[in-house]
Amino acid sequence: MASISPARRALAHAPWSPAAWRDTTFVASGVPLQFAGWVVLCAIWPFWAPVNVTPILMVLAASGALTLLALRPLTRWQRERCWAMLGLHIPPMPGFDDGPAWGVLRGLRTPEVWRVLRYHLVVGPLLAFGGLAAIGAWAGGAVLACSGVFPWMLPTSSGLSSAGGPRAIQLGVLSVTGVLLVIAAPWIAAGVRHLDTRAALALLGPDRAVELERRVEDLAEKRASVVDAADLERRRIERDLHDGAQQRLVSLALNLGLARETLTGVPDEAMQVIVEAHEEAKEALTELRNLIRGLHPAVLEDRGLDAALSGIAARVPLEVRLRVEVEPRASSTVEAVAYFVVSEALTNVAKHAKASAVDVVVLRRGDRLLLTVADDGVGGADPAEGTGLTGLARRVGSVDGTFRITSPAGGPTTVTVELPCAL
């Protein structure tokens, strides 16, 4: 963003500029509101000044309660002032603005009440003095700037006449001082306005740290919902394919196989077409089964990780030593992530590692599911080379898990994953 030149900045804060009058009006309107907290706190003392300890404590308690009851209207008026004059919206604070009015009396344990008290009893009065300084600069500057005009309106015989040289110099100095004060007044008002808006946002609005924490929690919940919805959709597609397209392909393959075995007297060309169609149907059925297994294997949902991972290990063309201890079972989403991590890791070992054996260990320890895949291959696995490791890390991260791989040149390669079971 291009910076504003000093000349344009000076014009923007000139005494006749709209910004100068807006800032001055804003800080001037805040003076009574920013002193109001102390006015309410001390309202009882002019009418009753006790001298004994018990009445003093009673008056202090009454003053404190009255101040707490006044916090909400004072805060609301400050927010409305910021919105009406600056267009600055300060949202309400959960835990302070909701509930009955007397709920603030029980809110001393909440940080929101203490932040609001800090504004109305500490920061606000200091800003009010800044507003008074801006008003004083305008008023005093205007009076001093005009001080050299009034003596010239008097008769020359008057003692206040500026006919004398020393008095004329003094009046000139006062006039120049007044002009400088008028020039400085918009800058003072702008500074107080800037501090006031920052203090109001920080102390009269929601705590940014709390809001960020709440947003992170909300986003985490939404992400978990999206992951669960995606897992449910995969399972739905798996059921539809299993109960629909797969059954039709099975029926087609059976009919073609029956035709291939029983038909006689068919020309060789026609029989060749039947044979090719039968083989194509069987290949399509195999691919569809692999696709269904890749979406969401039914055995995972029915019998758990132990049976599902045993099926994967049986299909890998090398020795797989499997150990699974996952009682009690984790959620279906976490189990699906663990299943696909092991499946993809074993596929990578079979394709790239040149290993003779691989150890797979899946253990549940408290609210964490620990998963390790270690092979005795050549090592050198790099997620940047597109071996599917980046996809594994993303899948693990989708449920707030951790993914770690160590694969020095020469091996061995170890993939370690931790998944939260509280999902």
- Predicted confidence (pLDDT) per residue in 180-215, tens digit: 888 888 888 888 999 999 988 888 888 777 777 777
Token pair, residue 328, equals 């009690």
Q: What are phi and psi of 16, to 5 degrees?
A: -95, 0
- Please enumerate in sequence order all residues whose Cβ is within 8 A of that of 174, keeping only pairs 6 or more positions apart, or say none: 144, 147, 148
The residue among 187 and 150 whose pLDDT is bigger is 187
**pLDDT tops 80 at residue 91:** yes
pLDDT at 164 over 60: no
pLDDT of 173 above 50: yes
Q: Is 113 exposed, middle or buried (0-12, 13-18, 19+ CB in 10 A)?
A: buried
- The residue with greater pLDDT, 38 or 63, is 38
pLDDT tens, residue by residue, 369-411: 999 998 888 887 777 665 567 778 888 887 888 888 888 888 7
pLDDT of residue 68: 78
Residue of 360, 347, 250, 241 lying closest to 298 (CA atoms): 241
pLDDT at 2: 47
- 105-117 per-position pLDDT tens digit: 666 677 788 888 8
Phi and psi dihedrals of 358, rounded to 5? -145, 140
Share of the chain above pLDDT 70, in %: 76
**What is the rounded distance in angstroms from the CA atom of residue 279 to the CA atom of residue 273?**
10
Determine contact, residues 348/381, Cβ cutoff 8 Å: yes
- Please report the pLDDT score of residue 13 as a whole number: 66
Packed helices 111-118 and 53-86: angle between N→C axes, nearest 10 degrees: 80
Average pLDDT of span 146-154:
61
Is 306's pLDDT higher than 70? yes
Average pLDDT over residues 330-353: 83
pLDDT recorded at residue 238: 66
Residue-averaged pLDDT of the chain: 78
Query: What would the mean pLDDT of 324-337 be, rounded to a whole number?
Result: 83
Where along the chain do its domains lie?
A: 6-206, 220-295, 300-420
**Strand, coil or helix: what is 102?**
helix
The fraction of the chain above a pLDDT of 90, given in percent, is 4
- DSSP per position, 296-317: --HHHHHH-HHHHHHHHHHHSS
Task: Give which of 217, 221, 192 is closest to 28, Cα–Cα.
Answer: 192
**At residue 43, does pLDDT exceed 80?**
no
Between 143 and 33, the more confident residue is 33
List Cβ neighbours of 130 (8 Å cut-off, separation of 6 or more). 27, 188, 191, 192, 195
Architecture of domain 300-420: 2-Layer Sandwich (3.30)
Q: Is the C-alpha dihedral spanning 306, 309, 315, 321 positive or negative? A: negative
**pTM, full prediction:** 0.53
| Sign of the alpha-carbon torsion through 150, 155, 156, 161 | negative
Tally of CB atoms within 10 A around 27: 27
Residue 92: name the closest of 182, 226, 211 by CA. Answer: 211
Q: Which of 184, 206, 141 is nearest to 23 (CA)?
A: 184
Average pLDDT over every residue of 240-251: 74
User: Are residues 44 and 67 in contact, defined by beta-carbon separation less than 8 angstroms?
Assistant: no
Is the link from the previous residue into 267 a cis peptide, with omega within 30 of 0?
Answer: no
Greater pLDDT, 395 or 155: 395
pLDDT at 1: 40
